[in-house]
A and B are shown apart, each in its own frame.
Chain A
Amino acid sequence: MTFLLNVVQHNSYADSVALMRLSDKISGSPGVKEAAIMIGTPANKEILATANLLGGDGQSAGPGDIILAVRAVDQNTANRVIAGWESELNKKAEGLSATEIWRPKTIRGAFEQQSDASMAIISVPGPFAIAEARKALTRNLNVLIFSDNVAIDEERAIKEEAKSRDLIVMGPDCGTAIIQGKMLGFANSVPNGKIGIVGASGTGIQEVSCLLAHMGHGISHAIGVGGRDLTEQVGGISTLTAIDLLEKDPQTDHVIIISKPPSEKVCSKILSKIERSSKTFTVCFLGSPLLQLSSNARQATTLELAALLAANQEIKPINSVSKNTGAAKRILGLYAGGTLAAEAQIILIDHGFSVTSNAPVPGALPIGSGNLQHTIIDLGADEYTQGRPHPMIEPSVRSAPFLKACDDPTVGAILCDIVIGNGAHANPAGLLISLLSDLDHPPIFVSVTGTNQDPQGRDSQMKLLESAGCTVASSNAEAARMAISSILPA
């Protein structure tokens, strides 16, 4: 026993598709056998009749009317359905509903829409990054490749291609740039100024630019070139282009170059370019031996020194820390920033410590067996980031090794970096100290790379760390020195 109800809305028009959608919605409802809303044309009435939905009222409807037809288990249900429809039909169009913004699916599609595009920023999985970069270069765009896990020969090829087009590829594995005052990737809010940076690593750029900011000096541009740019195989192509760009930039007076030590050939190419330049340079090749520099350049062995030299600060003797006289326990560094890890290693080596690392600088050893190894881990290295987010984005990657370190009786001091700024975690200090509650742990030495203009706020991050019992240093280098002090016998 079912109940058929037809209601006719006279002199009504609505699009047949809209009507179908309305009836489609109702059809599956409980108690509804069959339902339809149709314009009262003869053809539609035939359809309704075949579906056993046409009653007397509907029969009399004309093409200028809308028929609401429902067959339900009882009259109440039928009435309810009709009432629901009527309110829908009488609702005024509320304007656009959930306007979806057009999103292109390809670089080609994007370029059609934004043909004044000047740069592509690529952060897709490594195996696809170069193909995308090539599509950007062929359209005359500069490229920043954030992705890592890219084959080195492909890096070389894409940089050759960029060079032939008078363009630059920043990356792969370029996490940081500051171009025309805009922060790209992970970068900090630093003042505008006259010092340019060419950096083969993000955190190196971040630490140096922030230390300069603390000293009241600003950045013109910071150009990232990717971690492997200065290797023999890649040949320093992007670094050389970057130096040329800063050379011609009227805003820039001084250029800092930050990298791991380049290959010999690349190094001499860079030094000759520096020699021919009219600007002054600070060369910071972390772990490099003493270089023969032209008179317009000075060498910095740490990021801290690079900032001091560039700022033309007097190099006051840094708080003297004794050399290693035999520490009872070891220092364990857990770093999200690769260059900060490198700087920590250099400071330890300078103070006579034997250091191991998964990303060893010259003079450090790969991680081996042996107990009393001072170890600095770069948690952002490839072997940790395959298929996982970088610790800068997801600091919880550090949590497990951190807890393990706190539990390790051989560890006398833990060294950490907290990097804030654009793109970084919203509260990395908070995350770290949440691990520490009710935990016995060795002394923790940490620095905060950032400024007070960053969203996280450097001062407040430092306060959080101090409140949890961490020792907060003014720079990464200082943190390393403090860690050393703490494990040396008094």
Chain B
Amino acid sequence: MKKNQKTPHLLDTPLSVINVGLESFSEDLKSQNVATLHIDWSPPAGGDPVLGDLLSKLGA
């Protein structure tokens, strides 16, 4: 799985945001010139709690 090789320092590492949820946050960040990628999010497994639970246990 791809992950950040260096642990980002909250107060130091340049902000680069993945926004999951309200699009307005994404717009606010972009207007402050923060690199932001907005996700077209929808609940995992279409919101099915049983499948969602299975997925989290299967390392998804």
Residues of A within 8 A of B (CB): 103-125, 127-128, 131-132, 134, 136, 138-142, 146-147, 165-168, 179-180, 182-185, 221, 223, 245-246, 249, 251, 422-423
Contact = CB atoms under 8 A, between A and B. Distances in A.
Given A131-B44, A142-B8, A165-B7, A114 B18 contact: yes
Query: Among A115, A123, A127, which residue has the most Cβ atoms of chain B within 10 A?
Result: A123
A118 B16 contact: yes
Query: Among A116, A121, A165, A182, which residue has the most Cβ atoms of chain B within 10 A?
Result: A121
Interface of B: 1-22, 24-25, 28-29, 32, 34-35, 37-44, 49, 52, 56
A113 B18 CA distance: 10
Given A131-B52, A183-B28, A139 B21 contact: no
A179 B15 contact: yes
Contacts of A246: 11
A125 B48 CA distance: 14
A110 B56 contact: no
Contacts of B4: 115-118, 139-141
A168 B34 CA distance: 19
A138 B37 CA distance: 18
A146 B17 CA distance: 14
B20 A120 contact: yes
What secondary structure prevails in chain B residues at the interface with A? loop
Contacts of A179: 10-11, 15
Contact of A104 (B3, B8, B29, B39): B39
A183 B19 CA distance: 14
Given A105-B39, A118-B13, A131-B56, 19 more contacts: A104-B39, A105-B40, A108-B2, A114-B35, A115-B4, A119-B18, A120-B18, A120-B19, A120-B20, A136-B20, A138-B1, A138-B3, A140-B5, A141-B18, A180-B15, A182-B29, A183-B32, A223-B10, A245-B9
19 contacts: A103-B38, A105-B42, A114-B37, A116-B4, A116-B14, A116-B16, A116-B35, A118-B16, A120-B19, A121-B29, A123-B20, A132-B20, A140-B7, A141-B18, A168-B10, A180-B11, A180-B15, A183-B28, A251-B11
A245 B9 CA distance: 9
Contact of B39 (A107, A138, A166, A168): A107
A123 B20 CA distance: 6
